């Protein structure tokens, strides 16, 4: 069986080259390829692709930056896939860390310099028996749900279609159109949805007002999904218990921003998917999709241009 010709760019790396050849591809120049594995961003992407290109694999899981360009419009007959799901375990682990740290009020404990309880007992909680809304039950959301199940957590899973998710811990699946129904019924919220025009400021002042004074909001998706000004106000006034953010709006979060100072806010610099984990995970994702392409099977993480992700 002849190996399938695949181009790799803009940077050739040994792990990606090995993943492509291991999965039944052979590395060739772009003008001879049927597919392109692109490990860069929109800048520098070829303005024109050869007519022979049927599929392009992108490096990022979130593709909002690609929608800001004309790449998809210029290549309507090419299938594009993202890295959605490739990094799910690492990001879900980070989300769980932030949620546990918040529920246990770890920031207050880390700031302490003496042995004093500081009246935290009414706020310190547990995930056992708590209800957590996972908004965006895709790859990351599902991995997080699996991690929450052994802790005895009840999960309200929110996805686009409302198709029931049969995973331990899931007590209800809610379609995105009915998102307004969950805020008053959950103890905590984890945001893992894609960034689109429809998800801009998915959580704002009205949504935060319906949560509990002990609720934690965790965002490991994109900063644009949460109204930063409304969040700062809710944190200052004690409307919610706190926020754990690996993504912010604006990003990078500038020095002196209130989120750096508020004691009930935790900010990590968009590092839920560190490079030492990201590179091998993407290589495995590429290998899986190359195998599927070679065999004529459905590719994973296919980008739906009409949906925006």
Q: Which domains does the chain have, with CATH numbers?
A: 4-86+275-295 (3.40.50.720), 88-267 (3.40.50.720)
Structure tokens at 71: 């790449």
CA distances from 9 to 3, 13, 21, 284, 290 (A): 19, 9, 15, 17, 15
d(CA 46, CA 29): 13
Q: Which of 190-194, 195-199, 304-308 reaches the highest mean pLDDT?
A: 190-194
Does 292 participate in catalysis according to the annotation?
Answer: no
pTM of the predicted model over 0.85: yes
Cβ contact 76:56 at 8 Å: no
Cβ contact 225:204 at 8 Å: no
d(CA 238, CA 214): 9
* Per-residue pLDDT, 121: 57
At residue 147 the predicted structure's pLDDT band, cuts being 50, 70 and 90, is very high
At residue 293 the predicted structure's pLDDT band, cuts being 50, 70 and 90, is very high
Cβ contact 32:56 at 8 Å: no
Q: Is the Cα dihedral 25, 29, 31, 32 positive or negative? A: negative
HEC string of the chain equals CCCEEEEEECCCCHHHHHHHHHCCEEECCHHHCCEEEECCCCCCCCCCCCCCCCEEEECCCCCHHHHCCCHHHHCCCCEEECCCCCCHHHHHHHHHHHHHHHHCCHHHHHHCCCCCCCCCCCCCCCCCCCEEEEECCCHHHHHHHHHHHHHCCEEEEEECCCCCCCCCCEEEEEEHHHHHHCHHHCCEEEECCCCCHHHCCCECHHHHHHCCCCCEEEECCCHHHECHHHHHHHHHHCCCCEEEECCCCCCCCCCCCHHHHCCCEEECCCCCCCHHHHHHHHHHHHHHHHHHHHHCCCCCCECCCCCCC
Q: Is the pLDDT of residue 62 over 80?
A: yes
Calculate the average pLDDT of the chain. 95
Query: How confident is the model over 200-207, as a mean pLDDT?
Result: 98
At residue 17 the predicted structure's pLDDT band, cuts being 50, 70 and 90, is very high
Does 47 participate in catalysis according to the annotation?
Answer: no
At residue 120 the predicted structure's pLDDT band, cuts being 50, 70 and 90, is low
Check 104, 201, 270, 302 and give the catalytic one: 270
| Residue from 11, 45, 47, 49 nearest 27 by CA | 11
Check 34, 251, 257, 302 and give the catalytic one: 251
* Per-residue pLDDT, 119: 62
Structure tokens at 146: 């699996």
* Per-residue pLDDT, 189: 98
Q: Is the pLDDT of residue 188 over 60?
A: yes
Does 222 participate in catalysis according to the annotation?
Answer: yes
Cβ contact 197:222 at 8 Å: no
């Amino acid at each position: 069986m002849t190996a399938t010709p695949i181009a790799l760019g803009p940077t050739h790396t040994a792990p990606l080259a090995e993943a492509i050849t291991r999965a039944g591809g052979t590395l060739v120049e772009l003008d001879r390829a049927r597919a392109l594995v692109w490990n860069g961003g929109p800048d520098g992407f070829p303005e024109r692709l050869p007519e022979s290109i049927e599929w392009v694999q992108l490096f990022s899981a979130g593709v909002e930056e690609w929608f800001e360009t004309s790449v998809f419009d210029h290549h309507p007959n090419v299938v594009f896939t993202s890295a959605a799901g490739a990094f799910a375990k690492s990001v879900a682990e980070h989300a769980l860390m932030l949620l546990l740290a918040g529920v246990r009020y770890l920031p207050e404990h880390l700031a302490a310099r003496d042995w004093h309880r500081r009246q935290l007992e009414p706020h310190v909680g547990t995930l056992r028996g708590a209800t957590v809304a996972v908004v965006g039950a895709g790859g990351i959301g599902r991995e997080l749900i699996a991690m929450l199940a052994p802790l005895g957590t009840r999960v309200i899973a929110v996805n686009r279609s409302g198709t029931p998710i049969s995973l331990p811990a899931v007590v209800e699946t809610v379609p995105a159109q009915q998102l307004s129904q969950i805020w008053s019924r959950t103890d905590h919220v984890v945001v893992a949805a894609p960034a689109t025009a429809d998800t801009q400021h998915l959580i704002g002042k009205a949504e935060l007002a319906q949560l509990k004074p002990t609720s934690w909001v965790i965002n490991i998706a994109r900063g644009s999904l949460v109204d930063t000004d409304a969040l700062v106000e809710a944190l200052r006034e004690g409307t919610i218990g706190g926020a754990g953010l690996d993504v912010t709006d604006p990003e990078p979060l500038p020095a002196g921003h209130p989120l750096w100072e508020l004691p009930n806010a935790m900010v990590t610099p968009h590092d839920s998917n560190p490079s030492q984990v990201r590179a091998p995970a993407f290589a495995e994702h590429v290998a899986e999709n190359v195998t599927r392409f070679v065999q004529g099977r459905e590719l994973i993480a296919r980008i739906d241009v009409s949906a925006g992700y």
